[in-house]
Chains A and B, each alone.
Chain A
Amino acid sequence: QAQLVQSGAEVKKPGASVTVSCKASGYTLANNHMYWVRQAPGQGLEWMGTINPSGGTTSYAQKFQGRLTVTRDLSTGTVYMELSGLRSEDTAVYYCARGNFGVNTPGLWFDPWGQGTPVIVSS
């Protein structure tokens, strides 16, 4: 059964960078795109970026262009999300989620999700 396990909570100062890892098990990482979604306290869900682990290609939400870097290590089955230039508004829980494409149905959905990594940005 596919499972995603993320690294632990982080506390960072404004201007710093944070890296969150997401280790996949139960399936081959290269076979599915991985997505990063965040959720600010009491707020909804926001897609940040995507990586195709097979070739390493990425796409990022415009809001995070220049600050977000997503990479992967196929040898360890791990995807990394680095967000730089942190500000208080980046305080959120960060999730990785595997993308699934329908064979006989259109669309893309996220399943499973990692357990989430809280990131607190505070001086």
Chain B
Amino acid sequence: DIQMTQSPSSLSAFVGDTVTITCRASQTISTYLNWYQQKPGQAPKVLIYSASNLQSGVPSTFRGSGSGTDFTLTISSLQPEDSATYYCQQSYSAPWTFGQGTKVEIK
């Protein structure tokens, strides 16, 4: 199974800040990497697919990059509504695995 490791586990930032979340795969996965946002009590929602493609309707303040084993999700101009837990997920091979999540809080 491909293990996905996110860092940090949590972070706190001010409105307007730029934050970066990293995700590392235990083996190369090309660009088969997605990012999801989950708010409390809600289902996850896809933000970025195939490492760098912005899902329709998602603000352009979200950006994904990376390939191989190392990936990043960058949130620029952080807004209060960005407070959530973010998960990466590999779609290179089954079983489809997720990172453990990064909780983003607003100071």
Decide if A106 touches B53 in the complex (CB within 8 Å).
no
Decide if B95 touches A47 in the complex (CB within 8 Å).
yes
* Interfacial residues of chain A within 37-53, with CB under 8 A of chain B in the complex: 44-47, 50
- Report if A88 contacts B (CB, 8 A): no
* Interface-central residue, A46, A109, A110, A111, by most chain B CB under 10 Å: A109
What is the size, in residues, of chain B's interface with A at 8 Å between Cβ atoms?
27
Q: Compute how far the CA of A61 lies from the CA of B97 in the bound complex, rounded to whole angstroms.
A: 10
- Report if A62 contacts B (CB, 8 A): yes
- Report if B100 contacts A (CB, 8 A): yes
Q: Compute how far the CA of A113 lies from the CA of B87 in the bound complex, rounded to whole angstroms.
A: 14
Interface SS of A by simple majority? strand
Counting contact residues on chain A (CB < 8 A from B), the size range is 20 to 34
- Report if B62 contacts A (CB, 8 A): no
Decide if A44 touches B94 in the complex (CB within 8 Å).
no
Assuming A113-B45, A115-B43, is B33 touching A107 (CB within 8 A)? yes
- B residues at A contact (CB < 8 Å): 30-34, 36, 43-46, 49-51, 53, 55, 87, 89, 91-92, 94-101
- A residues at B contact (CB < 8 Å): 35, 44-47, 50, 59, 61-62, 95, 97, 100, 102, 105-116
